[in-house]
Structure 1
Amino acid sequence: MPAIPFRVTLLALAAATTACGGGSSGGNSDGITDIPEDPVETRPERCLEDPQNSGYCLVWQDEFSGDAIDSEKWTHEQNCTGGGNNEAQCYVDDRDNSWVADDMLHIKAIREDAVGPGKTDDDPDYDPEDTSGSGTYTSARLRSKGLGDWKYGRFEMRAKLPHGQGSWPAFWMLPTDWEYGGWPLSGEIDILEAVNLKVGGEDRIHGTLHFGDEWPGNVHSGEAYRIPGDLNPADGFHDYAVEWEEGEIRWYVDGDHYATQTSDGWYSSAALDNPLAPFDRTFHLILNLAVGGDWPANVNDGGIDESAFPQEFQIDHVRVYQCSEDFETGRGCASTDGDFVSNPGHTPPEAPDNAGDELVIFNGEIRAPYQWYTYTDGGTVDFETVEVGGDYGDAGRITYNTDAGIGFFQSVDAYDLSDYTYVKFDLRVLEEPADAGSAALTFRADCGHPCTSGDYPLDMPPLDQWTHFEIPMADLVDGGLNAKAVDTPFVISPVWGNQDGAVLQVDNVRLAR
């Protein structure tokens, strides 16, 4: 659809008036009064066409009018990782799975066994020759990363969707630089998703945001939509879009504004002091057709219907517009009919119930919302609550049957603990590691990988004697801790490589203001 000029410059013309008598002030020598023209508005440099009446101007497009996928706009991701959702496909760069013809991009999912890289394309250990991953389908996933990256704008696709149990087409966005950390700390914008269309009358499309904390503290919020007139998205072409501006994202189908979310309902635990995070950074576009996975497998008939494949995702065009009223914020070009769902989203979790001058983590029992976890690179780290008597009653006993392990108290959500001054705890060593001469302890606090305080060394206290520790939060912050988003305030272990045989007891673990 051609763009509609946003502003038309008018040339003001004036009729000449002849001076009577001795001439007129402000006139020129032939008696015609000069009337200045309106200034000519120039098209902003980034705009490919004049701005529309809304103020949006086209800045990037692919009409898929050639005979090949444009390598200056899209690259293929190639892996067999299952998309983090136990999906069944390998993504490949093969003309059988993705091609341009008839002025359309075609993405086809085919039932065939395949092998490929077992890591995602952005993983530092990614090897395109790796064959450790496998799938029972082949398909394609195209992205504009490094070729088309934007902060704010209108992102639009016209497409006909595939159908059948196990089909999962998507038009979505991921952060280009992951500035707030790994998924979903840096966010995800799903412009369009649909699963299992036509199965049991399934006709919904979905628009969703993903954000929050690392799994299992990740959250999402979104809305489903049905096209009026009982139209199924698999039966014809429709326009799917989001408008994303500073602090607000809106979803559209065929121009119908059906949902809005605002920054009041999203957050990143890596930047709780930034109300716009994570949707205030540069994102890129993704087009893909997944097969199976946790979502389609658990709705409608479940699983994958092999007889439904091959399936094809047909994309007529993809266009990106930005708001010429204010490129920096994207504001001033919103379109809405006032009849939409305002999704409240999610807000950061509040501090634990027992938070006050002291936040108790363990005092003979583990206090919610914290739980005890361990990590080892072989062997075990065992934890149990035992009766020790005296002033301590019950305490936690940690036994190291490894030279490479840690134990820690962690919550699902991250909390703002920046008002606390110290991490305090009591510790007793019942058994030292095998090499007692070089025994020492390491403490740290974490705020979601890779955010951490770093290792905080502690001297190994005397054997069989309770010792009180107070670690300044300021020291942990200096080591890299983001105190506004802490999910693991207590990590303890003998130093790596010299742990086996150590037995520790801990009690009165808390944070104090």
Structure 2
Amino acid sequence: MFQCFTKKHLPACALGLSLLISGCGGSSGGGNDVADVPVAPVLPERPEPCLEDPLNSGYCLVWADEFSGDAIDAGKWSHEKNCVGGGNNEAQCYVEATENAWVADDLLHIKAIRKDAEGPNRFDDDPAYDPNDTSGSGTYTSARLRTKGLGDWKYGRFEMRAKLPQGQGSWPAFWMLPTEGVYGGWPLSGEIDIVEAVNLKVGGEDKVHGTLHYGGSWPGNKYSGEAYQIPGGVNPADDFHTYAVEWEEGEVRWYVDGDHYATQTSAGWYTTADLENPLAPFDQSFHLILNLAVGGDWPANVNDTGIDESAFPQEFVVDYVRVYQCSEDFTTGKGCGSSDGDFVLNPGTQPPAAPDSDNNALVLFDGEAKAPYSWFTWTASGDIDYTVIDAGDDYGDVAQLTYNTNQGIGYLQSEAAYNLSAFTYVEFDLRVQAEPSDPGSASLTFRADCVHPCSSGDYSLDMPALGVWTHFQIPVMDLAGGGLNTASVNTPFVISPGWDNQLGAVLQLDNIQWVK
């Protein structure tokens, strides 16, 4: 949501020098003696050649679509085709149809139409994606174009001139996603929203938004951004405006019509997949996306809760898309940025604190849950009561889980995933205060998770005698053998009575820790 565009080009001067040397060495008497031919110097490569002389700022144009032909350039854009709802409960199916996306009069048109449709119920990059799948559906058709595998960049200026659509439920966007997803699925590998808007001209809605998405897997995902109002009360749906981001190592800046209105830095973003890398996840190649969504969670929470069908069809009209890279430093993208100093420095979100562990043990619970871990419960039906009680013995305060269900779990989880590969055992004390409804077949199940669906799988334990504290020690090696990625654990403790025989069980727990 992966093949990176890695084609390299030597600067023109280096290429010319190489040809000149070859010509000199290949014409001395028709022989093969090239001992006197000088060796061409190794000159630094840059990601792509400038298509024209660099701007005064130092940015050079490396890719552009002026939409001057009579069709969408398949060498620059591909269509996504699905009815997933964008992961935001949107109402459209994305299709490849000339009535939804076309080029005419030097403009790209993306049109959302009220029309029932069926299509794949998975994103195009899902390994299980089937283009012939018709299990997904939508009540609108629209288009989503991307440059993935055709144009992918790390750092640069990404610019679009466009006229945005209006109406309740309209959601145009010009944005970027990682091409390789090296840190994991969304949003672990990041998302850069260059510009998006919802419900323009409805209830006075007239702002555009620039946002970053990062953090951990849902529900630990984070986002931070700023809204911008074009001066003079101008609505973005009335005319064409230029929207851009400048992205360099450790910094992203947003612009409208050349006005720098917001900045975010690496001090305020992170990925839980690599908390030790301050630049992650915005240090990899990203590609561009243009789409027009209809409805969904965000538009539904602005001005209204539905879609105004009378507002459609709507068009998102794009004059051009251009990509520049900084000729001052192609590696970091630094040295070409501009600002008038009047912008919002968004602080973003600080990464979660790492677990507090000594040299030998990582304590998860000892009378209380230890940060960054917290207790959670999940059930297919019914509920699980969690409380901390005084055990009335040497144990003092302990965790107590009461299973008012036959299908549920209690677990300790952190927002981030941490490397626990140095630990040897998971240890805890458990007492059964009340047995499940069928004591004769009672059992326990333990597991640990490395961001769902990554898991150790179920690890079976014998149910101890009623009312007796029992110490358990589980080898981490066994959990890794079951599928646990010990280098990325976010849920180090999951406990439950055996499935379908839990109702009435009461478990007490203490001294939960991973030890070396």
State TM-score, norm by structure 2: 0.79
Task: Give secondary structure in 1 for the equivalent of 2:186.
Answer: coil
Contact 2:497–2:505 (Cα < 8 Å) also in 1: no
Q: Distance in 2 between matches of 1:43 and 1:271?
A: 29
Q: Residue type of the partner of 1:318?
A: V
Q: Distance in 2 between matches of 1:54 and 1:253?
A: 17
Change (3 A) 1:80 1:66: same
Q: Distance in 2 between matches of 1:498 and 1:200?
A: 52
> Could you say which residue in structure 1 is the equivalent of 2:256?
253
Q: Does 2:217 correspond to 1:214?
A: yes
> Could you say which residue in structure 1 is the equivalent of 2:452?
449
Change (3 A) 1:474 1:253: farther
Q: Distance in 2 between matches of 1:176 and 1:504?
A: 48
Task: Give secondary structure in 1 for the equivalent of 2:254.
Answer: strand
Aligned partner of 2:154 among 151, 157, 164: 151
- State, as a whole percentage, how many aligned pairs show the same letter: 66
Report how far residue 370 of structure 1 moved.
1.5
Q: Does 2:374 correspond to 1:370?
A: yes
> Could you say which residue in structure 1 is the equivalent of 2:462?
460
Aligned partner of 1:123 among 123, 126, 151: 126
> Could you say which residue in structure 2 is the equivalent of 1:88?
91
Aligned partner of 1:59 among 62, 69, 72: 62
> Could you say which residue in structure 2 is the equivalent of 1:74?
77
Q: Distance in 1 between matches of 2:195 and 2:306?
A: 21
Aligned partner of 1:286 among 285, 289, 314: 289
Task: Give secondary structure in 2 for the equivalent of 1:83.
Answer: helix
Report how far residue 271 of structure 1 moved.
0.8
Q: Does 2:400 correspond to 1:396?
A: yes
Contact 2:435–2:504 (Cα < 8 Å) also in 1: yes
Aligned partner of 1:414 among 416, 422, 427: 416
Q: Distance in 2 between matches of 1:257 and 1:138?
A: 34
> Could you say which residue in structure 1 is the equivalent of 2:307?
304
Report how far residue 78 of structure 1 moved.
1.0
Report how far residue 254 of structure 1 moved.
1.0
Q: Distance in 2 between matches of 1:199 and 1:401?
A: 47
Aligned partner of 1:338 among 335, 338, 341: 341
Q: In the TM superposition, what whole-angstrom CA distance separates every residue of 1:353-388 from its partner, at most 9, and x where no partner exists?
A: xx6768765567777862332366xx8895666997
Larger Rg: 1
Report how far residue 389 of structure 1 moved.
6.0
Report how far residue 259 of structure 1 moved.
0.6
Q: Residue type of the partner of 1:195?
A: V
Q: In the TM superposition, what whole-angstrom CA distance separates every residue of 1:100-139 from its partner, at most 9, and x where no partner exists?
A: 1000110001111212111111112211121211111111
Task: Give secondary structure in 1 for the equivalent of 2:267.
Answer: helix
> Could you say which residue in structure 2 is the equivalent of 1:511?
513
Q: Distance in 2 between matches of 1:85 and 1:456?
A: 32
Task: Give secondary structure in 2 for the equivalent of 1:200.
Answer: coil
Change (3 A) 1:181 1:417: closer
Change (3 A) 1:440 1:51: farther
Q: Distance in 2 between matches of 1:104 and 1:445?
A: 53
> Could you say which residue in structure 1 is the equivalent of 2:28?
none
Contact 1:112–1:138 (Cα < 8 Å) also in 2: yes
Aligned partner of 1:187 among 182, 185, 190: 190
Matched length: 467
Q: Residue type of the partner of 2:376?
A: W
Task: Give secondary structure in 2 for the equivalent of 1:229.
Answer: helix
Q: Residue type of the partner of 2:316?
A: F
Contact 2:405–2:502 (Cα < 8 Å) also in 1: yes
Change (3 A) 1:117 1:361: same
Q: Distance in 2 between matches of 1:72 and 1:434?
A: 64
- In the alignment, structure 1 segments of 5+ residues that lack a partner are 1-40
Contact 1:364–1:507 (Cα < 8 Å) also in 2: no
Report how far residue 280 of structure 1 moved.
0.8
> Could you say which residue in structure 1 is the equivalent of 2:135?
132
> Could you say which residue in structure 2 is the equivalent of 1:27?
none
Q: Distance in 1 between matches of 2:266 and 2:513?
A: 30
Q: How does 1:28-67 map to 2 (within 5 A)?
A: 46-67=49-70
Q: Distance in 2 between matches of 1:371 and 1:427?
A: 16
> Could you say which residue in structure 2 is the equivalent of 1:241?
244
Report how far residue 441 of structure 1 moved.
6.1
> Could you say which residue in structure 2 is the equivalent of 1:31?
none
Contact 2:417–2:451 (Cα < 8 Å) also in 1: no
Task: Give secondary structure in 2 for the equivalent of 1:258.
Answer: strand
> Could you say which residue in structure 1 is the equivalent of 2:202?
199
Report how far residue 162 of structure 1 moved.
0.3
Report how far residue 51 of structure 1 moved.
2.0
441-450 vs 213-222, which deviates more? 441-450
Q: Distance in 1 between matches of 2:473 and 2:327?
A: 55
Q: Residue type of the partner of 2:378?
A: T
Task: Give secondary structure in 2 for the equivalent of 1:46.
Answer: coil
Q: Does 2:99 correspond to 1:100?
A: no
Q: Distance in 2 between matches of 1:419 and 1:228?
A: 54
> Could you say which residue in structure 1 is the equivalent of 2:321?
318
Aligned partner of 1:274 among 277, 284, 298: 277
> Could you say which residue in structure 2 is the equivalent of 1:14?
none
Q: Distance in 2 between matches of 1:111 and 1:119?
A: 21
Task: Give secondary structure in 1 for the equivalent of 2:298.
Answer: helix
Task: Give secondary structure in 1 for the equivalent of 2:413.
Answer: strand
Q: Distance in 1 between matches of 2:91 and 2:153?
A: 31
> Could you say which residue in structure 1 is the equivalent of 2:490?
487
Q: Distance in 1 between matches of 2:390 and 2:122?
A: 46
**RMSD over equivalenced CA pairs, Å:** 3.7
Q: Distance in 2 between matches of 1:372 and 1:340?
A: 41
Task: Give secondary structure in 1 for the equivalent of 2:121.
Answer: coil
Report how far residue 335 of structure 1 moved.
1.5
Q: Distance in 1 between matches of 2:197 and 2:486?
A: 37
Report how far residue 440 of structure 1 moved.
7.9
Q: In the TM superposition, what whole-angstrom CA distance separates every residue of 1:406-447 from its partner, at most 9, and x where no partner exists?
A: 542234x2265869966431124676999999x986644334
Q: Does 2:160 correspond to 1:160?
A: no
Q: Residue type of the partner of 1:76?
A: H
Q: Distance in 1 between matches of 2:334 and 2:478?
A: 41
Change (3 A) 1:291 1:431: same
439-448 vs 85-94, which deviates more? 439-448
Q: Residue type of the partner of 1:372?
A: F
Report how far residue 278 of structure 1 moved.
0.8
